Each structure stands twice: as C-alpha cells, then as structure tokens.
Chains A and B, each alone.
Chain A
Amino acid sequence: AQSVTQLDSQVPVFEEAPVELRCNYSSSVSVYLFWYVQYPNQGLQLLLKYLSGSTLVESINGFEAEFNKSQTSFHLRKPSVHISDTAEYFCAVRFTGGGNKLTFGTGTQLKVEL
C-alpha cells in the first residue's frame, strides 16, 4: 500500500541549532515529493519539491531536502533554525499512476526555542 510517514509529531530545537524532519514513504511506483509548511492559523505553503533531476533540492529560506530512493525517504533539513521557523511541516507525495492527488503525512510540529 502507498503511504507517507512522518514519525516525529513534535521536534523541539534551540535557535541556531540544526534540525532534521523525517519523511518516509512506501511505494512501488515513482514519486513526486513535496514539503509544505503551515504557520499558525494559515494555509499550506510550498517549501520545496522534488520532481526529477538532482536529488538535493533547496528552498529560498535555507531548508533543503534529499530524495533517497533506496531508503524511500525525503528528509527535510536546516543547518541553523530561527524562531520564525516555528510551524507545522507536512511531507506530501504524489504517487505516479495514482491520479494527481497528494498524500500527506501526519505532520511534524517544529518548535524553535530561545
């Protein structure tokens, strides 16, 4: 069965520390991968995506994610977080051959503390 797993429901981290938010998926078909961020009381904003090509993708605000096909993972990383990065982060996958819908993980609440 196709699924998306975010094992960490909450990740507390101190400001300027590095962080990794984990995302794994289960699939026998090729995938398109996305990370979305949701700030409190706001909608979903696209952070970055992997469609093809280089397995390392970056966002404009310092986040990066690497597609690892053998481990079926797309972990999100940032070398130094800021208080403003506090938000909920959702990993989402489009499974090819499964229509255009996105399947979301359960989300990871990133809480950056001073």
Chain B
Amino acid sequence: EPEVTQTPSHQVTQMGQEVILRCVPISNHLYFYWYRQILGQKVEFLVSFYNNEISEKSEIFDDQFSVERPDGSNFTLKIRSTKLEDSAMYFCASSARGGDGYTFGSGTRLTVV
C-alpha cells in the first residue's frame, strides 16, 4: 500500500535555529498538508498546498513557517527560527482529491532545546 514518508523521524534543534522537515507524499496525490501535535494535545492543522501554492493556512502558520515543493516528489516544512513551543510531532499528509481521503506519514518529532 502506498505510504507517505517523512524524514527524519526525530530531530533535536537549538532554539533560534532553522529546521526543514521533509515529506514524500504518495506519487499521484495532488493535495498536501502539514499538521502538528503538541505532546498530550490534539492534532492541529497547519497548512494545505495545491497546485504549487498554499490553499489554506491556520493562525499557527505564521511568518516563521514556510512550505515548498522543490521537485516532483518532496514537500517540505521550514521553520525559520525555532522556539521552545514549536516542539511537537509534525505530520505530513496527502490526498488524491480535495477532501475524501487523507494518508498521513509517521511523523517527525521535533524537539527544540
């Protein structure tokens, strides 16, 4: 069964550093998403991406965050200057159509120290 692949599985970074989280969505999917889950809390939507542009973003997704699809297979989330409160599990997801089926990756646990 096709999978969404995320790397790395765990990343530790110092406060103020830039991090890039990487995702390889399912190859024939057209819609891409990032979600995050702070420890012990619910999964929250960050951003959706379609046709090489952001289609929707939440209030969490401020100027510190950016997304990119640099080639035909990767989808990245960049956090420009990490804060302690950015520590969370970040999930990438993709869907073939807009909103009837989402496949999530296994997540990247980001720890900001």
Contacts of B31 in A (CB 8 A): 100
Q: Which chain A positions have C-beta within 8 A of B44?
A: 104
Interface string of B1-32 (1 = CB under 8 A from A): 00000100000000000000000000000010
Q: Tell me if B113 is interfacial: C-beta within 8 Å of chain A.
A: no
Are A49 and B56 touching (Cβ within 8 A)?
A: no
- B:63-110 near A, CB below 8 Å: 91, 95, 98-107
- Contacts A100-B56, A105-B42 given; indicate if A46 touches B103 (C-beta within 8 A): yes
Q: Which residues of B contact A90 (CB under 8 A)?
A: 42-43
Known: A100-B55, A100-B95, A101-B56. A44 touches B48 (CB 8 A): no
What are 29 A-B contacts with C-beta separation under 8 Å?
A: A32-B99, A32-B100, A36-B104, A43-B6, A43-B91, A43-B104, A43-B105, A43-B107, A44-B91, A44-B104, A45-B104, A46-B102, A49-B101, A92-B43, A99-B48, A99-B56, A99-B99, A100-B31, A100-B50, A100-B55, A100-B99, A101-B56, A101-B58, A102-B43, A103-B45, A104-B42, A104-B43, A106-B42, A107-B42
Chain A positions within 8 Å of B, measured between CB atoms, are 32, 34, 36, 42-46, 49, 51, 90, 92, 94, 99-107
Which 4 residue pairs across A and B have the least CB separation, nearest first?
A43-B106, A44-B104, A100-B99, A99-B56
Known: A44-B43, A100-B50, A101-B33. 16 other contacts (CB 8 A): A32-B100, A34-B102, A43-B104, A43-B106, A43-B107, A44-B107, A46-B101, A49-B100, A90-B42, A92-B43, A101-B56, A101-B58, A102-B35, A102-B43, A104-B43, A106-B42
